A and B are shown apart, each in its own frame.
Chain A
Amino acid sequence: MFLEAKNLSKHFGGLHAVKEVDFSVEKGKINAIIGPNGAGKSTFFNVITGLHRPSSGQVIFKGDDISKLPPNKIALLGIARTFQTTNLFEQATVFENVVVGHRLRTKSNLFDAIFRTKRTKQEEEKCKEKALEVLHFVGLAHAAERMVGSISQEEKKRIAFALALATDPEIVFLDEPTAGVNPDETEELAQLMQKMVQKGITVCLIEHKMQMIMKLADKIMVLNYGEKIAEGTPDEINNNEEVIKAYLGGSASA
C-alpha cells in the first residue's frame, strides 16, 4: 500500500468533520476526492498532510504511521500539498519565490549562512536549479523574472504547483487546484496534472468541477458529512445511487 488512511476521524468539539474514513491512494494515478460543500474534504487533506492531528485512526505512508508527524516532517518524506489560497512574496520575482521550495533537501544552517561556506553555495545553486526546473515543468519559465504581484490568478496556481514540486515529492495533494480560473485554463492545469503523473508523481486532488474530474481521475472517493459514501472509478461513481442522492439532496454546489 502506498498511502492509506485507516479509519480516520477528525472532530472539532462536537462537529465531526471527518468520520471513520478508509481510503487508499493509488500510486502513479490521479486520485480525486469530491463531495458537496462542507463534506470534510479539506479537513481530510489537512489531517493527511499533518496540519491537523487525527482524532482517531491512522495515516500510513509506505508502511509507516505518519499521523502524528508535523507537516514539515511529512513533506520531508515526499508528501507535498497546495492550498486553496497561496500567499506569496508579491514584491519578489516568481523565481525568488520558488527557490525556497527545495530548502527541505538542504542542510545549510546559520553558520553556513554567515560564513557563506562551500556547502551553502552548492546548496543554493541546487535550489536555484530546482526552481528553474520546476518552473519549466509547470510552464512558467518565461515568467520567472516577473514580480509575483503582477501575474495572473492562473499563474499563481502554477507557482503553487511549482513550490510543491520543488520539494521532490512522490505524491502531491492539490486542494481545489482549478478554483477561480476559466475553463481553458482549467483544461491546461488538468494537462499539467497528467504530466505530473507521467513523471511518476502520484496526484490526489479535491475538486468541484465534476466534468473535469470524471475525465481526469482514475479513482474517486466521495465524502458527504465527513463520511465516505462511495469509492471507485468515474463510471462507478457516476452510477452510484447514494452519490446522486447526496448531490441532489445536499447543497447543489457541484
Chain B
Amino acid sequence: MPTLLSKKYALIAIILVAILIPLLSTNEYYLHILTLSFIWIIAVYGLNLLAGFTGYLSLAHAGFFGIGAYALGLLTVKGGMSFWPAFFLAPVITTVIGFFIGLVALRTKEHFFAIYTLCVGYIIYLVIDKWEGLTGGVRGLIGIPGPTNIGPIELTSANARYYFVLTVLLLVVFLIYRIVNSLVGRSFIAIRNDEQLAQSIGISTLKNKLMSFVLSTFFAGLAGALYASFIRFIGPDISNINITFDLLIFMIVGGIGTLSGPVIGTLLIVVLSQQLQFLQDHRMLIFGPLLTSIIIFSPRGLAGMYLTWYYKRKAKKKAQIQTDNASIGGDS
C-alpha cells in the first residue's frame, strides 16, 4: 500500500523537522512560540476528541485548561510539592473534576450542552478570578517551577523544554491515534453521526460520551499543566472563554474530526498571528470571518478539504482504470 507508506514517510519527515528546528535556528523567540503552539495543540486534541469525534462541543475547555494550570501552580507554589508529582497530579485532578461535571453536563444535548458548558466555563473562570485566598485572584500565581532534571536528562534550557513539550505532544498524538482508530473510537464516531442509531446498535452512549468528555478534560488539564510550567506565571485569563474561542478556531480551521487538523490549524493560525502582529488586538477581524467561512464552505477544515480532494482523485483514477480496462477489453 503506497499511500500508507508515503503517509508514514511524511510523518517521520515532520517529526525530524520538529527535532531539528532548535538545532538549525537560534532564534529563542520562535522556539518559545513553537513550544507554546505545541501546548495549544494538545488542548485542541482534547477539544477535537469530544467535539470532532463524539459530536459534543464543549465551551468549558479553557476552564479545564485553567484547572490543570492552577492545579500545578497551587500544588507547587502553595503546596510546596516538587515539579514531577505535581505535573502528574494536575491532569488527574482536572480529570476527576471533569468526570463529575461531565456526569451532569452530558444529561443535556446539542445546544443545551453548549450553553451548559459555556456557563460551567464561566463559573470556573469566576471562581479562579474571585477566590483570591486560593488562587491569588487577578494578581495570579507567580514562581511556578519548570520541569526539573531527571537524573542525567537536563530539562532547564529552552531547547530542552522544547523537546520535553514535543515529546509530550507526540505521546498525545499517538494516544489520540490509537483511541480514534480503535473500537472505542468507532463508538465515539457512531455517537457523533447518529446518537439514537448508535444506542440502538448496542453502544452505551452514556458511558462512551462520559469517557470522551473525561479524556478531553484530561488533555486540557495536561496542556494547562504544561502551560503553567512553561510560562511560570498564570492568571485567571487562561480560563477565559476567549481561550476556548482560540482553541475552537485552531480546531475548525485545521479540521474538526480529523487527526491532523489540530496541528495544521494551530500552527497555521499561530504563524498567521505572528505575521499579523500589526493588527494586535484586532486579529479577530480576520479570524472571526475565517472561522465562519470555513464552517460554511469546508466544515471539516483544511485537513477535510485535502481529504475530500484526495478521495475524489482516487475515485476518479479508479474509474479511469476501469474504463481503460473496459475499452481494452472491447478492442480485443
Query: A residues engaging B (CB < 8 A)?
Result: 49, 51, 70-72, 75-76, 80-81, 83, 86-89, 91, 99-101, 103-106, 108-110, 112-114, 116, 120, 123-124, 127, 147, 150, 163-164, 166-167
Task: Give complex CA distance A72, B190 in Å.
Answer: 13
Q: Which of B66-74, B98-106, B176-184 contacts the other chain?
A: B176-184
Given the known interface contacts A100-B189, A124-B183, the answer about A88 and B200 at a Cβ–Cβ threshold of 8 Å is no
Task: Give complex CA distance A113, B180 in Å.
Answer: 9
Interface string of B207-235 (1 = CB under 8 A from A): 00001000100000000000000000000
Residues of B within 8 Å of A147, CB to CB, are 311, 315
Instruction: Check if B200 sits within 8 Å of A75, measured CB to CB.
Output: yes
Q: Which of B183, B186, B203, B311 has the most CB of A within 10 A?
A: B183
Residues of A within 8 Å of B198, CB to CB, are 100
Nearest chain B CB to A119 CB, angstrom units:
10
Nearest chain B CB to A46 CB, angstrom units:
9
Residues of A within 8 Å of B201, CB to CB, are 75, 80, 100-101, 103-104, 163-164, 166-167
Given the known interface contacts A70-B199, A71-B200, A91-B308, the answer about A113 and B193 at a Cβ–Cβ threshold of 8 Å is no
Task: Give complex CA distance A120, B185 in Å.
Answer: 12
Decide if B276 is an interface residue (CB 8 Å cutoff): no
Task: Give complex CA distance A100, B196 in Å.
Answer: 14
Per a CB cutoff under 8 Å, which of A49, A51, A103, A116 touches B186?
A: A103
Instruction: Check if A71 sits within 8 Å of B304, measured CB to CB.
Output: no
Q: For residue A116, which residue of chain B has the nearest CB? A: B178
Nearest chain A CB to B108 CB, angstrom units:
17
Residues of B within 8 Å of A109, CB to CB, are 184
Q: Which of B175, B186, B187 has the most CB of A within 10 A?
A: B186
Decide if B134 is an interface residue (CB 8 Å cutoff): no
Nearest chain A CB to B216 CB, angstrom units:
13
Instruction: Check if A86 sits within 8 Å of B197, measured CB to CB.
Output: yes
A-B contacts besides A72-B200, A83-B194, 7 pairs, CB < 8 Å = A71-B200, A75-B201, A80-B201, A83-B197, A100-B186, A110-B211, A112-B183
Instruction: Check if B300 sits within 8 Å of A72, measured CB to CB.
Output: no
Instruction: Check if B204 sits within 8 Å of A72, measured CB to CB.
Output: yes
Nearest chain B CB to A97 CB, angstrom units:
8
Instruction: Check if A123 sits within 8 Å of B205, measured CB to CB.
Output: no
Residues of A within 8 Å of B179, CB to CB, are 110, 113-114
Decide if B307 is an interface residue (CB 8 Å cutoff): yes
Task: Give complex CA distance A110, B184 in Å.
Answer: 6
Q: For residue B215, which residue of chain A has the nearest CB? A: A110
Q: For residue A146, which residue of chain B has the nearest CB? A: B315
Per a CB cutoff under 8 Å, which of B175, B193, B202 touches A72?
A: B202
Nearest chain B CB to A248 CB, angstrom units:
35
Task: Give complex CA distance A221, B184 in Å.
Answer: 40
Instruction: Check if B200 sits within 8 Å of A81, measured CB to CB.
Output: yes
Residues of B within 8 Å of A116, CB to CB, are 178, 182
Task: Give complex CA distance A120, B186 in Å.
Answer: 13
Task: Give complex CA distance A81, B200 in Å.
Answer: 7
Instruction: Check if B200 sits within 8 Å of A49, measured CB to CB.
Output: yes
Given the known interface contacts A87-B193, A91-B308, A100-B190, the answer about A72 and B203 at a Cβ–Cβ threshold of 8 Å is yes
Instruction: Check if B211 sits within 8 Å of A100, measured CB to CB.
Output: no
Instruction: Check if A91 sits within 8 Å of B183, measured CB to CB.
Output: no
Residues of A within 8 Å of B311, CB to CB, are 91, 147
Instruction: Check if A83 sits within 8 Å of B196, measured CB to CB.
Output: yes
A to B CB contacts below 8 Å, 16 in the list? A49-B200, A72-B199, A72-B204, A75-B201, A83-B194, A83-B196, A89-B192, A91-B308, A91-B311, A100-B187, A104-B203, A105-B202, A106-B183, A112-B183, A113-B184, A114-B175
Nearest chain B CB to A173 CB, angstrom units:
9
Which chain B residues numbered 146 to 194 have a C-beta less than 8 Å away from chain A?
Answer: 175, 178-179, 182-187, 189-190, 192-194
Task: Give complex CA distance A75, B189 in Å.
Answer: 18
Instruction: Check if B203 sits within 8 Å of A108, measured CB to CB.
Output: no
Q: Which of B178, B300, B304 has the most CB of A within 10 A?
A: B178
Instruction: Check if A87 sits within 8 Å of B194, measured CB to CB.
Output: yes
Residues of B within 8 Å of A86, CB to CB, are 194, 197
Instruction: Check if B183 sits within 8 Å of A113, measured CB to CB.
Output: yes
Instruction: Check if B308 sits within 8 Å of A89, measured CB to CB.
Output: no
Given the known interface contacts A49-B200, A147-B311, the answer about A89 and B189 at a Cβ–Cβ threshold of 8 Å is yes
Task: Give complex CA distance A99, B202 in Å.
Answer: 13
Task: Give complex CA distance A114, B218 in Å.
Answer: 15
Residues of B within 8 Å of A112, CB to CB, are 182-184
Task: Give complex CA distance A212, B246 in Å.
Answer: 56
Residues of B within 8 Å of A124, CB to CB, are 182-183
Nearest chain B CB to A118 CB, angstrom units:
14
Instruction: Check if A113 sits within 8 Å of B197, measured CB to CB.
Output: no
Instruction: Check if B202 sits within 8 Å of A114, measured CB to CB.
Output: no
Instruction: Check if A99 sits within 8 Å of B203, measured CB to CB.
Output: no
Q: For residue A87, which residue of chain B has the nearest CB? A: B194
Task: Give complex CA distance A101, B192 in Å.
Answer: 15
Residues of B within 8 Å of A89, CB to CB, are 189, 192-193
Instruction: Check if B186 sits within 8 Å of A99, measured CB to CB.
Output: yes
Nearest chain B CB to A152 CB, angstrom units:
15
Nearest chain A CB to B215 CB, angstrom units:
8
Q: For residue A112, which residue of chain B has the nearest CB? A: B182
Residues of A within 8 Å of B182, CB to CB, are 108, 112-113, 116, 120, 124
